[in-house]
Amino acid sequence: MTTSRKSQVLFGEKFYKKDNICNICEKEKKLSVDHVPPQCCPPTKNRFISNLLYQMIGDKSFRPRSIQNGVTFKTICADCNNFLGRKYDKQLGELSRKIESFVESNLVLPDSFEVECQPNAVLRSILGHLLAAKTETDEVIIDKLIRPSVIDPSIPIHEDIHVFYWVYPYEETSIMRDFWMPSVRGSFQGGGLFNLIKFYPMAFLVTHQVVGGVGQV
């Protein structure tokens, strides 16, 4: 599923909810289309959304289609959609473009480097789009923890929410919600539910359990 950057015709899937309840404010409203990642982030050639969950539960509704601007979810109301874009997405876009400049550089990069950003807004952008990236209205614990701080910027992000991030210099976007994996690689003694958004040039892993591994915001 590839095309040239020039055409910017990308492949993905538009997902619709079976009801009209907004994934963010939980009010019954007319739903609008949310882009994951948001359109302010650098464009990539490939858009891919994992259909692993659909295969596991025997749902054959997953159908790829040619779209622009990435994977889209018609799951949140226009008010919440506009709020995400106005309040948080700009900072995620700016951070993504800064990381892109390092990734695209011909210089030999150091083992570590610092990038100025507004992490609070970046995190709320990622958490908001994670809320949008599902088509079911359910009672998942992490969604309940995330929702208040996305709706109200004055509410701190819940202390049990952990976000891990890394540079992701690949031309593919992957989105997975509510999947189980072990907390420590190679060990099945403990684990939990995780959520993943990978898009060029960054990736984010979100959970409400303390885990080790990559860098934490």
Residue 66 above 70 pLDDT?
Answer: no
Q: Residue 162 burial by CB count (10 A; 0-12/13-18/19+): exposed, middle or buried? A: middle
Residue 154 above 70 pLDDT?
Answer: yes
In eight-state DSSP terms, residue 57 is H
Q: What is the pLDDT of residue 10?
A: 41
Q: What is the pLDDT of residue 56?
A: 53
Residue 167 forms part of a structural domain? no
Tokens 């910027």, residue? 153
Residue 83 forms part of a structural domain? yes
CA distance 96 to 83: 19
Q: What is the pLDDT of residue 11?
A: 40
pLDDT, tens digit, 9 for 90 and up, residues 91-114: 999 999 999 988 887 777 677 778
User: Which residues, 6+ apart, have CB-to-CB distance to 212 below 8 Å?
Assistant: 183, 184
Residue 5 forms part of a structural domain? no
Which range marks the domain in which residue 138 is found? 10-152
CA distance 81 to 98: 24
Residue 202 forms part of a structural domain? no
Classify 177 as helix, strand or coil. Answer: strand
Count of domains in the chain?
1
Adjacent-strand bridge partners of 11: 66
Residue 175 forms part of a structural domain? no
Min mean pLDDT across 110-119, 160-169, 175-184, 208-217 is at 208-217
User: Which residues, 6+ apart, have CB-to-CB distance to 180 below 8 Å?
Assistant: 191, 192, 193, 194
CA distance 35 to 32: 10
Residue 212 forms part of a structural domain? no
Residue 47 above 70 pLDDT?
Answer: no
Listed in sequence order, the DSSP H helices in the chain are 52-57, 78-84, 90-103, 119-132, 141-151
Residue 169 above 70 pLDDT?
Answer: yes
Residue 139 forms part of a structural domain? yes
Residue 161 forms part of a structural domain? no
